[in-house]
Amino acid sequence: MQSFILKDSMAQNKSIHGQWSSRWTFILAAAGSAVGLGNIWKFPYIAGENGGGAFVLFYLLCVIMIGMPILIAEIMLGRRGRQNPINTFAYLAQQSKQHRAWRWLGVSCVTAGFLVLTYYSVIAGWALDYTVKSAMSSFTHASSSAISQLFTALLANAPMLLFWHTVFMLAVIVVVGYGVQKGLERAVCWLFPLMGLILLILVGYAMNSGAFEQGIAFLFNPDFSKLTPNSMLIALGHACFTLSIGLGGMMAYGAYLPKKTSIIQAAGIIALLDTIIALVAGLAIFPIVFANDLAVNSGPGLIFQTLPIAFGAMPYGSFFATLFFIMLVFAAFTSAISITEPAVAWLMEKYHMHRFHAVWLITGIAWFVGIGTVLSFNYWENVKLFGLTFFGLLDYLTANIMLPLNAALIAIFSGWCLRRQIIHEELKTPVTWLIRAWQFATRYLVPTAVGIVMLNFLGII
Ligand code: PHE
């Protein structure tokens, strides 16, 4: 009976959700999911907090050794399952004669994605607020303390944060509500290339800002004494976060991928684009930070507190600032829609809900939980658990704990449990050593590396 239900729903899903119209729209959508606040807001500030060079190197290592194989695995599982991550694990476990408990890995992925959405929308709201501030020339000729004050005032203003959080969630509802082709595709095809263009203009400015070499040195000269077990865990977590793996987003997008597309090639392009954009964002940001004697380790406020100082001082600064924050909103948006999709697909498939109803329900609950993040920066600023605010705890728990653990389990599932035949059918490539390398990575490399970083963090090794 169970088997009948799973297969039956699999056959139907193509018609429920639709499919990507081509390989390139999938690649754009998946790259749009990967490139987000993680690249432009989070990567620079955690690189700044964790000492630059060595952290960046370890992060790149994690992207190649752990991120890439899991990205391939997720897209593969998604396309084979053609359902939401929970049903996909249940279906594939059954096909491979494995225990039903694997569906809980799907539950863990969807839950992690949902939790990320709750705070992602709040931070995206900061970018929305800064887009308006930039357009109104709020930074022009302002002193650094006045600009810093603008950021502090925004964080203290809970109704304002709530307003922007609500605006962002409403935009997500509209796009995800229209489904794969009408909503998601149309949005990313426009937003992603535009974002690349704006970023390049900013790097052009940074190159002429006078501190480009210092920026490069900070990002690429490793000082291994600065690499602590905690920063290694953060680098690992961020490699998962930035590639949108370990929370079902890529699996959900893979479920709408046409059969012919080469998964290995697509994953390679996605990871490359994502890495280039993070590094380019760093190259746009750090030279400006150094040229203006700003603090590299100013945390989540880095781009909001420091960049506007540079924007305020440069010619046509309001224009560049507005472009920059529009870009950040775009980047966040194409990621947010992909975090919403797995839970929405699950409600549609499990309860036969209409897409719009499912989207309203998921984003409604996420919006409500997001209020906790809004309050973390003002009324609940001093309410802490393990030294972290509600937002800090959610971020740490999802990015640094749930994502790497999910990634390791996905590796174990696809490397050890999945039927060989499925792997060969899905990953078809003339370059056979690529499949062997992927198998080695999922079987041994990923579980061992995640295990070592986690045990090292816990002080056990
Ligand atoms: N990869 C996105 C970023 O870097 C965040 C994200 C995580 C998006 C998980 C979707 C799923 O900002």
Where do runs of H (alpha helix) occur along 208-306?
A: 212-220, 229-242, 249-254, 263-291
pLDDT of residue 253: 83
Query: 127 vs 182, 320, 358, CA distance in Å?
Result: 26, 14, 27
- Report the SS3 class of residue 382: coil
Residue from 42, 270, 338 to probe ligand 1 pocket by mutation (most atoms less than 8 Å from CB): 338
pLDDT of residue 193: 77
Following DSSP, what letter does each residue of 165-190 receive, concatenated?
HHHHHHHHHHHHHTHIIIIIIHHHHH
> With contact defined as beta carbons under 8 Å apart, do 287 and 214 qualify?
yes
Q: Give residue 278 CA to ligand 1 midpoint distance, Å.
A: 12
- Closest Cα to atom 7 of ligand 1: 244
- Closest Cα to atom 8 of ligand 1: 335
pLDDT of residue 11: 44
Measured from CB, residues less than 6 Å from any atom of ligand 1 are 33-34, 36-39, 113, 116, 241-242, 244, 247, 249, 335, 338-339
Backbone angles phi, psi at 208, to 5 degrees: -95, 0
pLDDT of residue 18: 66
pLDDT of residue 180: 59
- Please, what are the averages of pLDDT over each run of 10 residues along the chain (461 residues)? 42 57 81 91 94 96 96 95 91 93 95 96 97 93 86 96 97 80 70 77 81 93 93 94 92 85 92 93 88 85 83 84 86 89 88 91 97 96 93 94 95 95 89 92 96 91 78
Q: Give residue 245 CA to ligand 1 midpoint distance, Å.
A: 8
Secondary structure of 34-54 in HEC code, one letter for each residue: HCCHHHHHHHHHHHHHCCCHH
**Look-up of token digits 């940001």:** 285
Residue 57, Cα to own-chain centre: how many angstroms? Answer: 19
- Closest Cα to atom 6 of ligand 1: 244
Q: Give residue 122 CA to ligand 1 midpoint distance, Å.
A: 14
Q: Give residue 35 CA to ligand 1 midpoint distance, Å.
A: 7
pLDDT of residue 14: 52
- Report the SS3 class of residue 297: coil
Q: Which atom of ligand 1 is nearest to 41's Cα? A: 12
Q: Which atom of ligand 1 is nearest to 331's Cα? A: 12
pLDDT of residue 6: 46
Give 371: exposed, middle or buried? Use CB within 10 Å, 0-12, 13-18, 19+: middle
> With contact defined as beta carbons under 8 Å apart, do 324 and 198 qualify?
yes
69, amino acid identity: P
Query: 61 vs 1, 58, 227, 272, CA distance in Å?
Result: 45, 5, 13, 13
Q: Give residue 332 CA to ligand 1 midpoint distance, Å.
A: 8
Q: Give residue 424 CA to ligand 1 midpoint distance, Å.
A: 28
pLDDT of residue 197: 80
H/E stretch holding 6 reads helix 2-17
Q: Give residue 33 CA to ligand 1 midpoint distance, Å.
A: 6
- Report the SS3 class of residue 388: strand
Q: 413, 418, 344, 414: which is closest to 110 by C-alpha?
A: 344
